[in-house]
Structure 1
Amino acid sequence: MYKVAIYCRLSDEDRNKKNSTEDSESIQNQKNLLTRYALDKEWDIYSIYSDDDYSGLDGERPEFNRMLKDAENGKFQIILCKSQSRFTRDMELVEKYLHNKFVEWGIRFVTVVDGVDTLDKHNKKSRQINGLINEWYCEDISESIKSVFRMKQHTGKFIGSFACFGYIKDPNDNNKLLLDEEAAEVVRHIFNLYMQGNGTQRIANILNERKIPSPTKYKKIKGLNYINPSAKETYELWNKTTVKRILKNEMYIGNMVQHKRAKMSYKSKKVRSIDKVHWIIFEDAHEAIIDKKAFEEVQRRIASKVRSTGIGKTHIFAGKIRCMDCKSSMNKFNSSEKYSYLRCKLYSVSGKEKLCTSHSVRIDELEDIVSTRIKNHINTLCDMNKLCSQIVLEASKANEIHGIENKIKKLKEDIKSRREAIKSLYLDKIKGNITEKQFKELNDLFYNEEQEFTHLAEELEKRKEEFEGKENRTEGKEELIRKFTNCIGLTHAMVNELIDYIEVGEMDKNTGNREINIFWNF
């Protein structure tokens, strides 16, 4: 009596079938069908191998591989499946086993539904055709699924399994993200620490010292079945890579960023990183955790490769200082335990040639100069009384903006009515209600009016944008002044928000003076 191995497989594509009459694909029904078939043939069932929730392209199925190992060891003579596609949808595996390994091992492969039997050498071509069709099916399904996913991504719908740290998936809509306030507060803390001059490693150390759970640990605490593919033994701790990834993530300003990685092939589990230009970004898809202006400042500092000190904190002017002559950045160095200096980078790296001069300046002295300049700049350029008067003036312009909007609305209605009139004229001409000459005269009249109204609407739109721009600039200036007017001492926040960059000139050896130019953000 022949010994037979029964193999069953169920994948998601089978589980999600909507038609109840297609329940025959279920694991239990496969087992019942194949058991009856084996008993009718008077075959002795050696074992039933079953893989649940595995694709037919997956060569790493546990039960599938256990069965192949038993086949190689000669524990049975027949493998029985419902169809060839239950065994595999990969043409390479069809050729490898059905037409090579099984022949070597003395294994007969039989299916119930599509009549495959390797004992019959005449149906080899049909087996190969089945293999191709099954593989094409997988490829088509893969492309269809990807198309649906891309459409969702382009409309700002989240398709990931897990929300990024700081967010949770909406229980009523898995394609939408909601704020996770507990984690979001950690994200804000990370950005604040970085803006205060702390490096990414220093931030990681601070978070670990305060026993704040890392993103992977946090998901575990919340009961999510999340596996970090790059996790190590220290996966519960923060590291500088995780911190930097958070600092660069646009998701925190409300943008849905997806399609950053993709599978290399529908037949492979390997994924590749996608160039940023091909990422799918949908703006304002969910509530922001970080203000856009603060986020942009962080990106600028990261891009400028600002380096922290030995204690993990950058100096207050990091990324802001340039040599006035060669325009290169100025690096920090210590000439003694008491004082820290900045000097021209080109001077430091150019060796004996000395392509520029030192431009050396003490950081504490520069802090005093900049602090004084900030106060003077606020007092002279942005006098509070003048600003308040300007704000009142701008407020009155809000009414003018509203009036402009009403005029634009009226013009658009007039444009629409002229276009409708032209359509009606054309129909009247076709019906013979008006002559060709009458049509041309009225058509020209309505067309010219439409063009005139369109031009006026465009001019009003420009005027409205100008008023709104002025209004925004005033609001921004008022906010900055209120924020820093009563500040005591110079801070990282003041330097980052008020100053674009600072140029330092070489000291005049005769007078001891040096030129320092500050380029403001407002």
Structure 2
Amino acid sequence: MARKSRKQPVTETVVSTPVETGLYRTAAYLRLSSDDRRKQGDSLETQRNIIERYIAASPDLQLVECYTDNDKTGTNFNRPAFQQMMADIEAGKINCIIVKDLSRFGRNAIDAGYYLERYLPAKGVRFIAVNDSHDSLTSDGGIMLPIKNILAESYALDIGRKCKAVQHQKMLDGKFLGNYAPYGYQKCPEDCHHLIPNPDTAPVVQQIFSWIDGGMTYDEVARQLNRQNTLTPSHYNQSKGLVNAPADIGNGHWTRRSLVDLLADPVYLGDMIQGKTVVIGGRRTSVPSDQWIIVRNTHEPLVSRDVYDNIQLKREQRSEIYKNKAKKQTPYTENFFRGKIVCVHCGAAMHRKRQNKDGTYWFRCESQQKYGNGACEVVSIREQDILNVLMVMLHQQNKLMTGHYQSLLHQHDTISEDTALVATRKDIVQTKHIIQSLYENLVSDIITPEEYSQMKADYTEKLSQLTEQAGNIQEANQQRRQTVEHYQTLTDAVTKTLADRKLTALLVEHLVDRIEVHRDKTATIQLRYRQQLKEVG
């Protein structure tokens, strides 16, 4: 069985009973996984139709929300729509869930059992599985409910094993299983698991190998490609509509790193190497190279083995030279500003270099070196100059920071209890009493059913608003306390730094947001604490 996951704690919640309201506030839950798409009867539209017909024939059910998880596995409950439904249960918005069958709710026997047998009953939430003829209002499920959950989980595990077995066999047969073909290739129109040369990009790959084999450096090749406006692999895929996510596209420049990865890929020899990673417990993990699935000569090569092997040999030789140099050099000092220093002209992160003559550290913009002339200005600055500017800023701002912190500390010392929270909690208690007395007044004929329904709806809405208001106040107070504690730590660290004149990487991380360097070797430092002053002020 699957490992038990974290779930919502079972706590007491005010939920209107059907006797009081006459109607269950019902949530329809729909789920479809990638495996379900191949089966008839499990489409989202079919699930919705079955549920709507059932609700139409049930006068005590009122549909208030439809939650849909599309392309989500049922083996765990970490699904956006499901989690939103649980949050709405906690808020008292719904008190009934209806699904097409138990497998739509989940295919994890332990977790499904927890929700159906403990969590939902504790919250007073009714559960209906239409095709399984299960209704928690009229049946406790007996022995059949856990058996059906176990069968649903077994089915999911069996399907998963079969899919993995099929994929593994395809890898052993040398069939390509990627979402889109490697740069230089395209999927064969007659067989999506077979690669053929791409007439647009195959010549680019061959030219890159030829340049490197002929003696050009990686940086020279990158600059040449950028000058020719050659699309990078990610931008080429974007132009063909294969990728759209910004994280998968990049900045559009060829770099040394992208060339190293391309030139080391055996796919250009006509070999297929797959199974480099595996998903274990929901996380993708690298597989040792001796366990990769390698099949030779599965498609047309773009380069000869002699050229490929020659380039790999040169790369290994350069790597060995760099390692030997590194052993002789004094170790680099810690880089406090990693990822924080950028060129103001092009926005690129500046790289830290050491000048071997005197051990001075510099930050330089490498856009011109990487992408060619005109890509940016010649921008550089000494690390010590940045440290000097930062220490001056800290001296100037230290008194302000300390004074503001003392003011905040005094404010929190003088307020022992939030009066707004006390008043809101008092209103919640009173509103609960009123709601409880309404039903008694209805039974005693003090109010009419129409008056009861209207008043009950009004006070229930008020209770929901008060509960949300109390939660917001508590959350704001907690966040404020945490921010003040963080600010105290930051203020103490700044004071110590000024006394010792020694920065730490942790302080820089909390203190500095961004450092912009200009062509004239000046730096503009943006501090994080200024925003924190606004948040806690």
TM-score, normalised with respect to structure 2: 0.52
Aligned residue identity for 1:7 = Y
Pair 1:154-2:172 in alignment: yes
Q: CA contact under 8 A between 1:197 and 1:308: conserved in structure 2?
A: no
> Equivalents in 1 of 2:303, 2:147: separation in Å?
56
Q: CA contact under 8 A between 2:127 and 2:135: conserved in structure 1?
A: yes
Q: Which residue of the partner structure matches residue 106 of structure 1?
A: 124
Residues 228 and 303 from structure 1, CA distance in 2 versus in 1: closer, same or farther, beyond 3 angstroms?
Answer: farther
Matching residue within 255, 258, 264 for 2:274: 258
Q: Which residue of the partner structure matches residue 50 of structure 2?
A: 33
- 120-129 or 142-151, which moves further after superposition? 120-129
> Equivalents in 2 of 1:58, 1:200: separation in Å?
46
Q: Report the CA distance between 1:241 and its aligned residue.
A: 2.4
> Equivalents in 1 of 2:227, 2:302: separation in Å?
24
Q: CA contact under 8 A between 1:199 and 1:307: conserved in structure 2?
A: no
Alignment of 1:117-266 (within 5 A): 117-119=135-137, 122-123=140-141, 125-225=143-243, 227=245, 231=248, 234-265=250-281
Residues 239 and 125 from structure 1, CA distance in 2 versus in 1: closer, same or farther, beyond 3 angstroms?
Answer: farther
Aligned residue identity for 1:168 = Q
Residues 193 and 27 from structure 1, CA distance in 2 versus in 1: closer, same or farther, beyond 3 angstroms?
Answer: same
> Equivalents in 2 of 1:118, 1:87: separation in Å?
14
Pair 1:74-2:60 in alignment: no
Matching residue within 35, 44, 48 for 1:13: 35
Q: Report the CA distance between 1:116 and its aligned residue.
A: 3.6
TM-score, normalised with respect to structure 1: 0.53
Structure 1 spans left out of the alignment, 5+ residues = 18-22, 310-318, 320-327, 332-522
Pair 1:290-2:303 in alignment: yes
Pair 1:2-2:28 in alignment: no
Aligned residue identity for 2:38 = N
Q: Report the CA distance between 1:260 and its aligned residue.
A: 1.4
Aligned residue identity for 2:28 = I
Q: Report the CA distance between 1:294 and its aligned residue.
A: 0.7
> Equivalents in 2 of 1:162, 1:237: separation in Å?
21
Alignment of 1:466-485 (within 5 A): none
Q: Report the CA distance between 1:201 and its aligned residue.
A: 4.2
Q: CA contact under 8 A between 2:234 and 2:243: conserved in structure 1?
A: no
Aligned residue for 2:35, secondary structure, equals: helix
Q: CA contact under 8 A between 1:34 and 1:112: conserved in structure 2?
A: yes
Structure 1 stretches (4+) deviating beyond 6 angstroms?
A: none
Aligned residue for 2:50, secondary structure, equals: helix
How far does the alpha carbon of each residue in 1:8-58 deviate from its partner, in whole angstroms, 9 at most, with x for none?
2222322213xxxxx332222222221222232211111222333332235
Q: Larger radius of gyration, structure 1 or 2?
A: 1
> Equivalents in 1 of 2:47, 2:152: separation in Å?
19
Aligned residue identity for 2:66 = I
Matching residue within 24, 46, 56 for 2:74: 56
Residues 107 and 200 from structure 1, CA distance in 2 versus in 1: closer, same or farther, beyond 3 angstroms?
Answer: farther
Aligned residue for 1:68, secondary structure, equals: helix
Q: CA contact under 8 A between 1:118 and 1:124: conserved in structure 2?
A: no
Q: Report the CA distance between 1:306 and its aligned residue.
A: 4.5
How far does the alpha carbon of each residue in 1:122-156 deviate from its partner, in whole angstroms, 9 at most, with x for none?
43654333333222221111111111111111112
Aligned residue for 1:281, secondary structure, equals: strand
Number of aligned pairs?
Answer: 305
Q: Which residue of the partner structure matches residue 501 of structure 2?
A: none
Aligned residue for 1:191, secondary structure, equals: helix
Q: Report the CA distance between 1:200 and its aligned residue.
A: 3.3
Residues 107 and 213 from structure 1, CA distance in 2 versus in 1: closer, same or farther, beyond 3 angstroms?
Answer: same
Aligned residue identity for 1:56 = G
Residues 235 and 60 from structure 1, CA distance in 2 versus in 1: closer, same or farther, beyond 3 angstroms?
Answer: farther
> Equivalents in 1 of 2:157, 2:311: separation in Å?
43
Alignment of 1:310-325 (within 5 A): none
How far does the alpha carbon of each residue in 1:72-99 deviate from its partner, in whole angstroms, 9 at most, with x for none?
2111110000111101112353145334
Aligned residue for 1:123, secondary structure, equals: coil
Q: Report the CA distance between 1:226 and its aligned residue.
A: 5.8
Alignment of 1:82-101 (within 5 A): 82-101=100-119
How far does the alpha carbon of each residue in 1:301-351 deviate from its partner, in whole angstroms, 9 at most, with x for none?
222234899xxxxxxxxx9xxxxxxxx99x9xxxxxxxxxxxxxxxxxxxx
